[in-house]
Structure 1
Amino acid sequence: MKGKESLKKCSFLLAFIMIFSLVFQFDAENVLASESEKVINVLSFNDFHGALQESGKNVGAAKLIGELKKFKSENPNTVVVSGGDLFQGSPMSNLKEGQPVADMIKILGLKYSALGNHEFDWGRDKIPSWQQQGDFNFLAANLYDDSTNDTVSWVKPYAIEEVDGVKIGFIGLITPDTAIATKAENIQGLTFKDPVEIATQLSKKLKEEEKVDVVIALTHIGGKQSEDGSITGEVANLASVEGLDAIVSAHSHTKISGIVNDVPIVQGMNNGRAIAKLQINLNEDKTIKSIAPSVDVLYERADTLVEDAETKNMVDNYLLDLKPLLDEKIADLTVDLPHDRSKGLTELGEFVSKNLAEVAGTQICVMNGGGIRAPLSKGTLTMGDMYTVLPFDNTLVTMEIKGSDLKKVIENGIAPANYGWGQFYGLKVYYEPSKEFGDRILSMDLLDGTPVEMDKYYTLATNDMIYGGGDNYDFSGAINVKDTMVPLRDSLVEKFKTEGTLSHTYGNNLVEGPKPEEKPEEKPEEKPEVKPEVKPEAKPQVKPATKPSSNNKKKEGKLPQTGAARGNTDMLMLGFILVSSAAFIMIVSKKKDKNDVA
């Protein structure tokens, strides 16, 4: 009996030990991390574009700042940065030349921001004043002054921030597309160097000379992430840089949270709609254990966000000052005019182009997709709406252009890689998307059906930004060019006020495929040739969104990990279970021997 009771007690003890071990195994890593690891968070938002007021998916400055402040209060080891394009884009910010955004930045306590291409929209002289007003620093290591052949003096190339004894180096990088996405006079004398080349140089310098523990590229460089998690675009090229531990992306207005070549990359959409996070876990010796990327989409939980009172008061004061102007009625709009410049010719793009052509008295109007920033809903059209749709002070330019040059202009706006689709009016264009960029147009007619002749001149209106070469447009062959010096917005406001009621019927004037009469005759159906089955290639597995330790990492030739990662904690637990099991067996054996003797 005693032997059986002892056996029961030992069995119970072993079961308890095993259950305790399993529970401890799940929590041990977190317990040990709190005792021996440092955790630092880098939060970022990008392409804010002056979205101070709550509207649609834009949660507004008060809720954005409230959420950032809340996170910082709960996680003291937090640094907040920005991916650039902070100021230009909303009526409130534009009419006050960015001052409300500078006030918001100061309230938040923003440390650093990448320099965006739209920071140049009011000229480079505004950049130093914004830094002073907001008490922060723009970073751009690949922006060079042609007169000195060195980085510009009015922004820093990089910065080092020390958090809880950990040195973090931020390398600022601006997209080279700024050279074609900005008015030429605003960037005259500046060169935008290759980000990969500059990041390679500075990553080495920061690690070897400055002795930083973590190097992060703080960029205004875009990319996109597909459903399978893969990241492509200009920002993905940066992941090849040796010594770079993480990347903050911007410019493309996308959600990115993933890993390329062991380097975590994040981007938080645009207009304050999301906050991107890099959670950095470091060992006791300050070597990187892991970096986890994530994105918190704020508009999906806007009702749970608490407004920051100071920011709300600031925005309300500016709104009170500007309300009479922003609420001014321009006209009544009878239809919705959607606009997604990433997908093709839009209702709003065609509407704006049509009205500008009528103002200018030209046959055709061409606009860049990025020059039109937001859709319009039917109802009362206000001055605030006009500033939202056309925030830039680009002026109306007229010219005559040869048909062959016109074809190149339209080609440039069909599925471009790095900017929005071109918008136009006055033409019916048929194109083949599978052809190479720049050679997709199959035919092009005026709206009356007359084919465009390559050697004939046509009258055209556009804006001064793309006339000067912005977004890679080429109008160099145009003649009789005239810059009206009147902003597009002002031209349309005057026209719309006169008309009173506005409507538009979408012409669908950019058509995929050949003209109906040009479609080839259908051939008799032929039996398809039976081909041997070819098995598709297996898709590579998507890596989990956590950056492994950077110690002795290799950029190429690494075999994929096929099992769960095991650390020192796991091995200790396994040893503990084995020792406990051995002890149990020994106890049972001794009891059994005693019973046998008895």
Structure 2
Amino acid sequence: MSNISSESSPAVPSCKELEVVLTILHFNDAYEIEARSEEPVGGAARFATAMKEFQALNPFVVFSGDCLNPSVLSTITKGKHMVDILNKLGVHCAVYGNHEFDFGVDVLEELTPQMTFPWFLSNVYDRFTNKTLGHGLVSNILEWNGQKIGLMGLVEEDWLDTLGTVDRNNIIYVDYVETANSLSAELREQGAKLVIALTHMRWHNDIRLASESRGLDLILGGHDHEYGVLEVNGILIVKSGSEFRYMSKIDVVRDHDMTFKYSCHKISTMKHLEEDNEIKQIVNGYTNNIQHVLGEVICHMDIELDGRCATVRRGECNIGNLITNAMLEATHAEVALLNSGTLRSDRIHPTGPLTMRDLLQILPINDLVLVVEATGQQLYEGLENGVRNYPELDGRFPQVAGIQFGFDPNKKPGARVIAKTVKVQGKILDKARRYLVAMKEYLTKGKDGYTMFQGCPLSFDIENAQILSTILVNHFESGMIVRGLKTCRSGHRMGLIKVSDSPSVSAIEKSVNEKLPGEAVSVAVVPGVEGRIYHIFTESQSETEAEG
């Protein structure tokens, strides 16, 4: 195993002196199949090589959800390419993640029969079929290396509300602890010696599951993208990062008292690993045909775009300001509101050329942008919802344009936004007035907790809505037209220059006017962090502290 980067988890003691009865390889949340430049580089082909290092151990391979979306390829294939990848990796079982439903239940149920392993979902039921959503398995016993393993798949209620393709009213949710207790007892009665819950939920829910359930041995989780191992109530919880960058090698041993103990090792997919030929051919087969399109440069960035998850889900950021500015310009709304979970690249985009590939990494989902008529009170409630889970990396955290506000993170959720700080287009929010608010169709359906916008009148029909990624392409192209870098043959210069007081237009005009003779003008002017969202510590501080 000298070719593999491995480290023992500090949370779990070594079991070298005991005989290993089962080795489990676990991973979760795999979206991009190609490697990145930074270590660990990941990529499905090198990940396959890392897995083969343990082939002699006959490992039991487990996946804890989220693979069909979002990614650049998924936008084109609707996740079909992941069928071939996971089959070749030899996955033995999986639990549905929220992104398995991004293209609808019909697509999911078309793809899963093509996979060589079962998908579990034990605690969510479809009202139409009276069976589990997506026809996931409720439970099963698999025998591996002479061990009878009882399996179930558990998910949290929170992400069910974010499903854009499934109406929450058409599904029945059962608490995961209740389900775990019932199924653990059944599996034990059927002869299971080791009972594993595959989960796709946040850490605090996995911890509650370990604390309150009876009969589980292992919790192999997903949904959180950070690597982590924790023992709670004698139950080991493992989460294995994301993007084919890490896996967990879990050695299960039987102690002298016939109880199970575990040794967990973090395996990193590093650049020095050779790429597996079979997986590489699959990757190339899907990517080669679209390289010329994805490599197209759509603009040049004059500053870095910070799209890291920890940045966009905790505060105002330049990438959020850029996109919400474009939403205002394209829709002529007064306010733009974007849930930060929309921004998916989780990286810093450097200065220089921005390609279609970069854009689709940032915005991999074809989101429709609508304009609703919302009262000031609804807007205020929307901002409260956006910051209610701060500082968690929650996708509901808002990115905004046309509005600014301060909030106190020390106050209770639902009472954090300071009303007197909320300004729309520079004027104090009028809670009785109606405002035109640009947002994704997803939010108009009440997803990510934005239920206050359900039922708001639409300013135009859905059929006339624009795709968010298209809005950004038009935004960049408009910038080239304004600068004279591209000729507008039709005379229709798109949204950007129609909004004369747009912050982006002002920045463009300023850059053009200040240009020195012979100096090239950057194609895209990116707004900085401007104080649209900031902290106010009403009890501990009197001064306003800008987020950033």
2:413 aligned partner: 437
1:105 aligned partner: 86
Are 1:219 and 2:219 an aligned pair?
no
* Mapped contact 1:245–1:264 kept (Cα < 8 A): yes
* Mapped contact 1:117–1:175 kept (Cα < 8 A): no
TM-superposed CA distance for 1:154, in Å, is: 2.2
Q: Based on CA coordinates, which of the two structures has the bigger radius of gyration?
A: 1
Q: Distance in 2 between matches of 1:357 and 1:222?
A: 33
TM-superposed CA distance for 1:498, in Å, is: 3.0
Q: Residues 332-389 of structure 1, C-alpha deviation per residue, up to 9 Å, x if partnerless?
A: 2211111233322222112111111111111111111111112433221211112111
2:177 aligned partner: 196
Cα pair distance change 1:261/1:313, threshold 3 Å? same
Matches within 5 A, 1:387-406: 387-406=360-379
1:180 aligned partner: 161
The residue matched to 1:479 in structure 2 has which SS? Answer: coil
Matches within 5 A, 1:97-496: 97-152=78-133, 154-183=135-164, 185=166, 189-208=170-189, 210-223=190-203, 233-239=204-210, 240-282=212-254, 287-298=258-269, 302-339=270-307, 340-374=311-345, 375=347, 376-416=349-389, 419-420=394-395, 421-442=397-418, 443-446=420-423, 448-474=425-451, 475-476=453-454, 478-482=456-460, 483=462, 484-496=464-476
1:509 aligned partner: 532
TM-superposed CA distance for 1:329, in Å, is: 2.1
The one-letter amino acid of 1:449's match is G
Q: Distance in 2 between matches of 1:415 and 1:277?
A: 36
TM-superposed CA distance for 1:87, in Å, is: 1.6
Cα RMSD after superposing both structures: 2.4
Q: Distance in 2 between matches of 1:344 and 1:217?
A: 34
Q: Any gaps of 5 or more consecutive residues in structure 1?
A: 1-28, 224-232, 522-598
The residue matched to 1:63 in structure 2 has which SS? Answer: helix
Cα pair distance change 1:459/1:246, threshold 3 Å? same
Q: How many residues align?
A: 471
The residue matched to 1:502 in structure 2 has which SS? Answer: coil
2:69 aligned partner: 88
User: Structure 1 length normalisation: TM-score?
Assistant: 0.74
* Mapped contact 1:264–1:293 kept (Cα < 8 A): no
Q: Distance in 1 between matches of 2:535 and 2:381?
A: 17
TM-superposed CA distance for 1:222, in Å, is: 1.6
1:530 aligned partner: none
Cα pair distance change 1:477/1:465, threshold 3 Å? closer
Q: Distance in 2 between matches of 1:336 and 1:38?
A: 49
Q: Distance in 1 between matches of 2:374 and 2:157?
A: 29
Are 1:62 and 2:45 an aligned pair?
yes
Q: Distance in 2 between matches of 1:351 and 1:95?
A: 25
1:544 aligned partner: none
Q: Distance in 1 between matches of 2:383 and 2:331?
A: 19
* Mapped contact 2:121–2:137 kept (Cα < 8 A): yes
Q: Any gaps of 5 or more consecutive residues in structure 2?
A: 1-14, 481-522
Q: Distance in 1 between matches of 2:287 and 2:174?
A: 40
Q: Distance in 1 between matches of 2:331 and 2:435?
A: 13
Q: Distance in 1 between matches of 2:169 and 2:103?
A: 13
Cα pair distance change 1:319/1:520, threshold 3 Å? closer
Q: Distance in 2 between matches of 1:211 and 1:467?
A: 48
The one-letter amino acid of 1:451's match is I
TM-superposed CA distance for 1:328, in Å, is: 1.8
1:525 aligned partner: none
Q: Distance in 1 between matches of 2:278 and 2:458?
A: 53
* Mapped contact 1:265–1:293 kept (Cα < 8 A): no
Q: Residues 217-242 of structure 1, C-alpha deviation per residue, up to 9 Å, x if partnerless?
A: 0011121xxxxxxxxx1110110211
* Mapped contact 1:368–1:423 kept (Cα < 8 A): yes
1:42 aligned partner: 24
